[in-house]
């Protein structure tokens, strides 16, 4: 589990991560060595050609070099297979073997240069088979060297040097408060700068202004806070997720108490009937999906979308609709028309403008439901991702709520932007002037669902009859008081094990603790966990039994932060102690619990097999509550259950099933029998 410490710094790779890549390279080296040995043996007496003496020495030296590398790799793989994730003791000698293996790259580099020079020498006239063999050897050597350099860059940890400052043995570990505070400040500042540079690099293709710089710093601090108290390398997280998934599947297969859900619709309002809300949700999900524009339309119609968008529907751009933002070739608006089935004249305002905290939306007249629909787009750009990740909390005060409510900062700013557009620019006034008897409905999916929910809260006083349908909104959105308040006018729709609906900082902290706990208790080597997990995910089977060697270990110890391999085995770093003291002083949670908005409809897929199901998938829906989504579930469908096409498919299936049931009841009804 701890990051490997070599060359005096910590790296983003564990001492047990060399099994699979080392075994692969060992196989390649063995085949290579055998091929060179055969080549040398067959042509042993045929080195009298011009340049043959150098060729003989080259092949002989290459055989010795490859044999040395094979021995080093064999030892590296064997040592890396020992111990468990949380028990690196049997792998203490691995750094020495790794140093030996790295030293062998120098003669290999020299031999690759010699081979390249020999091949490029026009005066060499040896047998063509030998020349081709040397060319293959040179190419293979350079490929391995390049991949090694790339691997070193990938596992390089910019903060590695900050995590290897340890107190010498015999020196008191009680640092002065000023020294401890300064060290902690330096570590935090360095970590924040590193994360900020990474985010800037990922977002290098977008124009960056003051809002972006503030968001970069805020998101960098978020990532720094989340990862500062762990020493998990990426493969540890992968192993932990695999173990959690199998543990979760094993628990699902065991008899359990009925889930704490509301299995009937609340009796407070007649319109809250589950079947009615499912029918409305299926209808309005079309608007939420249409807000994505042409990417969604092309994704759901990959073979015909471009031809249809180039047809008559997009030849004439409407002049009476208020359209802002870039829509090259009119593809976005054409897709919205195709998905919703509306006409040009039904659109009041369309905005494709997209910046951080400013997301696209449109306002349209829905004559079928007699509603003015505000549809907000979900995440589709880097700017939207930055809005999602601006997960700090800010206050949202309402007169109807007794206490101040907390909301997601980035999504609230996006809702404020749309609110100003709707009210200050007179968009809603224009819509209600055209259709004064229509009701206001706000919809959105994912980020759009969260924005639509907060926008509905803001507009509730001015439009008491408004309704909001939030499809797969983020889990960390509203405080408990606001979430309860929104149950009167917001309906959230969640499908299956959707990750985003369970995504909040407390849930992420819980996931981190679960990963640390399960990898610390498992006595399987990491390579076995990864191989077994890949087989389980692809081919299925029974979940693992999770044998443990630490059953009697104190659970509090399993949740303590882990910093560096040596700190677990010998002593703790000063930054570890400072972080531990800070966590004790700040006992209240750093991030308040935020919840899904409104009443929650949870749609679950019915399938006899956990794996691939038939095309005729059946769904069930029920009223649920926020406690069901208080933990992140690991599943292959945790991402696909969030996709808008899957949500729309599930809602359409339930709506059609309900319609067919009503038809059957009407057909079977016999008035003469009454």
**In angstroms, rounded to a whole number, what is the distance separating the alpha carbons of residues 336 and 338?**
5
**In angstroms, rounded to a whole number, what is the distance separating the alpha carbons of residues 398 and 462?**
13
Contact 324, 351 (CB under 8 A): yes
SS3 for 622?
strand
Residue 608 known to be catalytic = no
User: What are the φ/ψ torsions at residue 113 (nearest 5 degrees)?
Assistant: -65, -45
Q: Which residues of 221-257 are buried (b: 16+ CB within 10 A; e: fewer)?
A: bbbbbbebbbbbbebbebbbbbbbbbbbbeeeeeeee
**In angstroms, rounded to a whole number, what is the distance separating the alpha carbons of residues 458 and 285?**
22
350's enclosing H/E stretch is strand 347-351
Kindly tell me the burial class for residue 135, based on how many C-beta atoms sit within 10 Å of its own C-beta (0-12, 13-18, 19 or more): middle
Contact 242, 85 (CB under 8 A): no
Identified catalytic residue from 16, 231, 384, 498 = 498
Contact 281, 491 (CB under 8 A): yes
What radius of gyration do the chain's Cα atoms show? 31
- The dihedral through the CA atoms of 118, 121, 124, 127 has a sign that is positive
Q: Which of 327, 296, 215, 285 is nearest to 441 (CA)?
A: 285
Beta bridge partners of 445: 471
CB-CB neighbours of 538 under 10 Å: 10
**In angstroms, rounded to a whole number, what is the distance separating the alpha carbons of residues 194 and 12?**
14
Residue 327 known to be catalytic = no
User: What are the φ/ψ torsions at residue 60 (nearest 5 degrees)?
Assistant: -65, -45
Contact 192, 221 (CB under 8 A): yes
Identified catalytic residue from 15, 141, 265, 446 = 446
Q: Which residues of 568-589 are buried (b: 16+ CB within 10 A; e: fewer)?
A: beeebbbbbbbbeeeeeeeeee
User: What are the φ/ψ torsions at residue 606 (nearest 5 degrees)?
Assistant: -95, 120
Pairing assessment for the beta strands 9-10 and 5-6 based on DSSP bridges: antiparallel
Beta bridge partners of 442: 374, 468
How far CA 514 is from CA of 85, 507, 532, 633, in Å, comes to 15, 10, 20, 11
**In angstroms, rounded to a whole number, what is the distance separating the alpha carbons of residues 118 and 484?**
77
Q: Which of 156, 176, 158 is nearest to 167 (CA)?
A: 176
Contact 92, 167 (CB under 8 A): no
Q: Which residues are catalytic?
A: 446, 498
């Amino acid at each position: 589990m701890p990051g490997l410490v070599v060359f005096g710094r910590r790296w983003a790779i564990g001492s047990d991560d060399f099994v699979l890549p080392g075994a692969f390279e060992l196989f390649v080296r063995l085949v290579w060595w055998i091929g060179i040995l055969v080549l040398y043996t067959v042509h042993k007496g045929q080195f009298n050609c011009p340049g043959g003496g150098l060729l003989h020495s080259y092949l002989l030296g290459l055989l010795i070099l490859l044999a040395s590398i094979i021995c080093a790799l064999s030892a590296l793989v064997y040592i890396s297979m020992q111990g468990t994730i949380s028990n690196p003791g049997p792998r203490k000698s691995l750094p020495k073997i790794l140093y030996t293996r790295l030293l062998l790259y120098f003669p290999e580099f020299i031999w690759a240069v010699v081979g390249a020079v020999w091949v490029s020498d026009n005066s060499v006239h040896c047998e063509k088979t030998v020349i081709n063999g040397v060319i293959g050897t040179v190419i293979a050597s350079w490929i391995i060297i390049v991949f090694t350099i790339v691997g070193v860059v990938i596992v390089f940890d910019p903060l590695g040097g900050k995590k290897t400052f340890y107190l010498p043995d015999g020196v008191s570990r009680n640092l002065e408060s000023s020294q401890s505070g300064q060290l902690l400040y330096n570590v935090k500042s360095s970590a924040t700068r590193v994360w900020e540079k990474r985010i800037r690099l990922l977002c290098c293709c977008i124009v960056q202004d003051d809002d972006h710089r503030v968001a970069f710093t805020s998101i960098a601090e978020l990532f720094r806070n989340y990862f500062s108290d762990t020493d998990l390398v990426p493969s540890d997280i992968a192993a932990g997720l695999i173990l959690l998934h199998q543990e979760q599947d094993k628990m699902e297969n065991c008899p359990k108490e009925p889930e704490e859900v509301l299995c009937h619709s609340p009796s407070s309002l007649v319109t809250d009937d589950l079947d009615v809300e499912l029918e409305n949700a299926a209808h309005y999900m079309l608007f939420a999906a249409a807000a994505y524009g042409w990417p969604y339309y092309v994704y759901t119609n990959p073979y015909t979308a471009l031809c249809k968008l180039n047809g008559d529907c997009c030849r004439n751009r409407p002049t009476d609709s208020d359209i802002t933002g870039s829509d090259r070739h009119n593809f976005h608006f054409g897709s919205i028309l195709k998905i919703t089935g509306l006409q040009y004249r039904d659109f009041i305002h369309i905005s494709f403008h997209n910046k951080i905290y400013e997301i696209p939306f449109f306002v349209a007249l829905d004559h079928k439901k007699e509603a003015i629909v505000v549809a907000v787009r979900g995440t589709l750009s880097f700017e939207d991702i930055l809005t999602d990740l601006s997960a700090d909390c800010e206050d949202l005060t309402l007169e109807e709520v007794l206490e101040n409510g907390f909301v997601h900062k980035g999504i609230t700013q996006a809702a404020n932007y749309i609110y100003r557009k709707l009210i200050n620019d007179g968009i809603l006034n224009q819509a209600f002037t055209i259709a004064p008897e229509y009701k206001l409905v706000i919809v959105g999916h994912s980020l759009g669902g969260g924005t639509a929910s907060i926008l509905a809260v803001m507009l509730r006083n001015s439009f008491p009859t408004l309704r909001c349908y939030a499809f797969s909104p983020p889990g960390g959105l509203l405080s408990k008081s606001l979430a309860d308040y929104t149950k009167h006018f917001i309906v959230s729709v969640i499908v299956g094990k959707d990750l985003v609906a369970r995504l909040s900082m407390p849930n992420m902290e819980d996931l981190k603790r679960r990963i640390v706990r399960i990898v610390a208790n498992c006595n399987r080597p990491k390579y076995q966990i990864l191989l077994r997990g890949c087989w389980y995910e692809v081919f299925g089977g029974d979940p693992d039994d999770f044998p443990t060697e630490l059953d009697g270990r104190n659970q509090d110890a399993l949740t303590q932060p882990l910093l560096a391999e040596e700190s677990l085995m010998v002593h703790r770093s000063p930054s570890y102690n400072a972080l531990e003291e800070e966590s004790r002083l700040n006992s209240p949670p750093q991030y308040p619990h935020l919840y899904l908005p409104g009443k929650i409809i949870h749609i679950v897929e019915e399938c006899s097999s956990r794996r691939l199901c038939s095309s005729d998938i059946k769904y069930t829906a029920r009223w649920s509550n926020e406690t069901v989504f208080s933990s992140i579930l690991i599943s292959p469908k945790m991402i696909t259950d969030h996709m808008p096409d899957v949500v729309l498919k599930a809602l359409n299936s339930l709506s059609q099933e309900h319609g067919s049931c009503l038809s059957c009841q009407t057909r079977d009804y016999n008035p003469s029998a009454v």
